[in-house]
Each structure stands twice: as structure tokens, then as C-alpha cells.
Amino acid sequence: MDVIKNIGRAVGYAAAALGHKHKKTAVLNRIRTVIRCEERAAQKEYLALGRYYYHALRDKENLVTEPHCAQLDEIEARLEKALELMQACADESFAGLEGDACPCGEDCEEITLEDVACYDEDPGLELEVPAEEEKNEPEESAGLPFEG
């Protein structure tokens, strides 16, 4: 009888230790999530602060920050130029669609939706699902060397 009590007590301690370990892991995961969220919030605030500094408090005589601000100016200029080029290309492409010719310059055929079927209800609901037949064969994945 003492053997059974000892085994029961050992199983109880093991279960309690395992439960404690899982609770500790869950708490640590929650703390990691909070840390990640706070880091993201701080990163957003740093970005907002940097934008405010760039637009309102920029000091052209500050040797530390001015190279970064000048680089931002160059990036903004390149971005603006790229956006203007994209708009010009889009305007040019849409202007070519007014006539019968395709903007690509090739003789493309027009795509129509005449052969597309239209349904008021889902046609898949009318299909009968065949009953599964009993299989005496082993599963396909049985005995594969890469499965555990």
C-alpha cells in the first residue's frame, strides 16, 4: 500500500511541477508580448518626434543632425521625381486607351465577359457529395522515412 501512496505522491508532485512550469511559461510569453508592444509604441513615438524635429526644430548649423536632414531632403526629392514619372506614365497609358489601339502597340484582341456564366445561387450546393467508401488500404503517409 505504501508503494501506491508513494507513486501517487510522486505523480502529484510531477503534475504540480509541470503545471507551475506551464504557468511560468505563459507569464513569460505575456511579458514578452508587452515588451514587443511597448517597443513598437516607442518606435512610433521616436518617428513622430523625428518628423516634428525635422519640420519644426531643424537647426542648419547643427553638425550632428544636419547631414541626416540633408539626406532626407535628397530622398524626398528623388521620391517626388519618381512619383511624377509614375503619374506621367499612367496618364500616357490611359490616354492611349481612348482609341481602338492598345497602349502596348500590339494588335490585342478585346476581352469580353460574354462566355462567363452568372448564377443567382451557389451552384456547388446542388452537387451531391459521394459517400466515402470503406478503405482497407493503409494511408499513403504510412511508413514514409521523413515522418516521425
Retrieve residue 77's grid coordinates. 526629392
- Rounded to the nearest 5 degrees, what angle is found at the Cα of 30, between the Cα atoms of 26 and 31? 115
pLDDT at residue 128 in the model: 55
Tell me the C-alpha distance between 15 and 74, whole Å. 63
- Single-letter residue type at 117: A
What is the model's pLDDT at position 106? 56
**Other beta carbons within 10 Å of 62:** 12
| pLDDT recorded at residue 7 | 87
Element (H, E) at 83: helix 66-96
- The whole-number pLDDT of residue 35 equals 92
Kindly report the pTM of this predicted structure: 0.45
The domain locations on the chain are: 1-57, 60-98
Residue pair 117/111 in contact (Cβ under 8 Å)? The answer is: no
Which residues of the chain are under the pLDDT cut of 70? Answer: 93-113, 116-148
